[in-house]
Chain A
C-alpha cells in the first residue's frame, strides 16, 4: 500500500469498495467516523510498512499441526 500520509489521499472510495467486498453495510450517519478511523489506521501503519525486514524474518503467527 501507499506510504503517503492519509491527509493526501481520499480514503472514502477505499472504504466504500472494501465495504462492498466484505458485504458490510455502513449506515450514512457513521460513514465519516469509519473513514476517519481508516485514515487513522493508515497513518499508524506507515512506520510499520516503512521498516525494512530481512526476507528471513517469518511472521510471528505460529501453527502446530
Chain B
C-alpha cells in the first residue's frame, strides 16, 4: 500500500516552504478521488473548504505568520462529527434529512486552529453500534490490507483511511472499543484517552456514559501531536475535564526507566488466536515484564458496559424507533428496539457496578503504571465470518471483537492500541493501558517499543 509522509513531516515541509499547503491538499483530494471508490472510506469530501483553508495557510506563511504545528496536514473524521455546512450522518440514513451542522465539532475546530485541513467525513457502523463498518446504507469499508476482510468498527472508515494512506491521521469515537478495534485490524495507532479528557462537543453521541473521541495515525509522533492539539477544557461538553492540558509529545523520548509494567491476566488472557498470543508474548518479552495482574469480575464489567450502551443508545433513538423503525440498518434495529426495553433497575445496577469496578482497578494502579493486553482476539476476519473458534470454544464474532476493549472503556482508562506488523501476516493490535489521565506513560512505552523495532515496520 502507498505510505505517504506522516503528518509532522508534511507540516515541516509546508512550514519550510518546500511544499505549499495547496499542493499537499490537492494531492490528498486527487488520491481520495482515485482510490475511495474501492476503499469506501469517505462518505463526504469537503474539497472546497479544504482548498480554501490550504490557501489561507499558504497566505499566512507568506505573511510570516505561524500556521501551527499541523500546517497543511489533511485529515478526516468519522461522520458523526459536526462539520459546518454538512449534515452529520452518524452512519444513518435517518439523519440524511437533518439540517447541516451550524459549526464544527470542537475537535475539528482545534485541529484547524493547529493548521490541519479537514478533507472529509468517514464511514462507520450506523449510530456507532457495531465493530465491523458493514453499513446497509453507505456500504462496507473493507480492510485496506485485504479487501475480503473487515476493517473493524465502528470507526472503520477512520482506521482504513489512515491505513490506506488517504490521510496521515483521522478522528474516531470509542464507546466499547470503536477506535481500538479498527485501529488494530487495520494496523494503525489508535488512542482512546481518559473518559472526559477530550471534548466530545459536536460529536453525535451513542452512549454518553461511555463515549470518548480520539485520534488514529500511522506515526506515534503524529498521534501525540494531534492529541495534544485536541486537549483543553470545553464548557460545551459537560463531561470534558477542567484539568489543564498535559502534553504528551515531550514524553516521547523519555524512555521507560522506572515504569512498572505488567501483563493483564484473567479475562484478558483468554480467548485469543495463537498468533495474537505470540505477538503479545513478544511485547511482554521486549519489555521484560515479569508481573501479571488481574482485574476482578471483568466478565460482569463487560456485561454492565453492554447494558449501559444498549439502554442509553436506545433511549437516544427512541423517537426514531417509534416513527420509523424500518429505516434503521437491520444490523442495529433489533438491538436498539430490545435495548429500549431494559428495566431501569438493570441500568442502575450496571452503573453502580461501574463505580465498584473502577474502585478495584484504581487500587491495582497503586502498584503498577502501565498494563499490556491484546486489542482484539484475532486478525481482521473475512467479511462474511460470523463465529470465531478458539481453543475449542465457538464465540459469536462481532461482540467478541470487543472482548478486551469493552471492560477498559467501561471505566474510562486511557488506552493506546499499537500496531504490530509481522511479515506475511495481517496486523495485530496490543493495548497499552494506564490509570486515568496518565496518557503520557502510554506514549513513553509505545515510543520505546517503536524505537526497539517491536512494531515490525
- B351 touches which one: A18, A33, A59 (CB < 8 A)? A59
Contacts of B351 in A (CB 8 A): 59-61
> Does B427 belong to the interface (CB within 8 Å)?
no
Give Cα distance in the complex from A36 to B338, angstroms. Answer: 8
- A27 touches which one: B325, B343, B349 (CB < 8 A)? B325
> Does A44 belong to the interface (CB within 8 Å)?
yes
Closest approach, in angstroms, between the C-beta of B317 and any C-beta of chain A? 11
> Are A57 and B352 neighbours in the complex by a CB distance under 8 Å?
yes
> Does A41 belong to the interface (CB within 8 Å)?
yes
Contacts of A4 in B (CB 8 A): none
Contacts of A22 in B (CB 8 A): 318, 322, 340-341
> Are A15 and B341 neighbours in the complex by a CB distance under 8 Å?
yes
> Does A9 belong to the interface (CB within 8 Å)?
no
> Does B49 belong to the interface (CB within 8 Å)?
no
> Are B346 and A18 neighbours in the complex by a CB distance under 8 Å?
no
Stretch at the interface among B149-157, B304-312, B376-384: B304-312
- B338 touches which one: A40, A48, A51 (CB < 8 A)? A40
Closest approach, in angstroms, between the C-beta of B52 and any C-beta of chain A? 39
Closest approach, in angstroms, between the C-beta of B436 and any C-beta of chain A? 13
Nearest-neighbor residue (CB-CB) of B333 within chain A:
A30
Stretch at the interface among B7-15, B36-44, B354-362, B448-456: B354-362
> Are A61 and B209 neighbours in the complex by a CB distance under 8 Å?
yes
Nearest-neighbor residue (CB-CB) of A26 within chain B:
B337
Stretch at the interface among B19-27, B53-61, B105-113, B295-303: B295-303
| A48-B334 in contact given A18-B341, A57-B355, A58-B352 (Cβ < 8 Å) | no
- Most A CB contacts (10 A, CB to CB) among B297, B318, B352 go to B352
> Does A7 belong to the interface (CB within 8 Å)?
no
> Are B303 and A45 neighbours in the complex by a CB distance under 8 Å?
yes
> Are A25 and B325 neighbours in the complex by a CB distance under 8 Å?
yes
> Are B346 and A30 neighbours in the complex by a CB distance under 8 Å?
no
| A48-B310 in contact given A30-B325, A37-B334 (Cβ < 8 Å) | no
Interface residues on B, range: 35 or more
> Are B338 and A37 neighbours in the complex by a CB distance under 8 Å?
yes
Interface residues on A, range: 20 to 34
> Are A23 and B349 neighbours in the complex by a CB distance under 8 Å?
no
Closest approach, in angstroms, between the C-beta of A48 and any C-beta of chain B? 5
Give Cα distance in the complex from A63 to B339, angstroms. Answer: 23
Give Cα distance in the complex from A48 to B310, angstroms. Answer: 14
> Are B349 and A48 neighbours in the complex by a CB distance under 8 Å?
yes
Closest approach, in angstroms, between the C-beta of A2 and any C-beta of chain B? 11
Contacts of B306 in A (CB 8 A): 41, 44
Contacts of A59 in B (CB 8 A): 348, 351-352, 355
- The 8 A CB mask of A19-46 against B (1 = contact, 0 = none) is 1001111110010011011101100110
Closest approach, in angstroms, between the C-beta of A35 and any C-beta of chain B? 8
> Are B299 and A38 neighbours in the complex by a CB distance under 8 Å?
no
- B307 touches which one: A19, A30, A41, A60 (CB < 8 A)? A41
Contacts of B340 in A (CB 8 A): 18, 22, 24
Give Cα distance in the complex from A19 to B322, angstroms. Answer: 10
Nearest-neighbor residue (CB-CB) of B328 within chain A:
A30
- A24 touches which one: B297, B322, B358 (CB < 8 A)? B322
- Most B CB contacts (10 A, CB to CB) among A14, A22, A33, A49 go to A49
Q: Shortest 8 CB-CB distances between A and B: which pairs?
A: A37-B338, A33-B334, A60-B354, A59-B351, A60-B355, A18-B341, A38-B338, A34-B337
Contacts beyond the supplied A30-B326, A45-B346: 9 A-B pairs with Cβ under 8 Å: A1-B343, A14-B341, A15-B341, A30-B337, A34-B334, A44-B306, A47-B299, A59-B355, A64-B238
28 A-B pairs whose Cβ atoms sit less than 8 Å apart in the complex: A14-B341, A15-B338, A18-B341, A19-B341, A22-B318, A25-B325, A26-B325, A27-B325, A30-B326, A33-B333, A33-B334, A34-B334, A37-B334, A38-B341, A41-B341, A41-B342, A45-B303, A45-B346, A47-B299, A48-B300, A48-B346, A48-B349, A51-B300, A51-B353, A53-B349, A59-B355, A60-B209, A61-B351
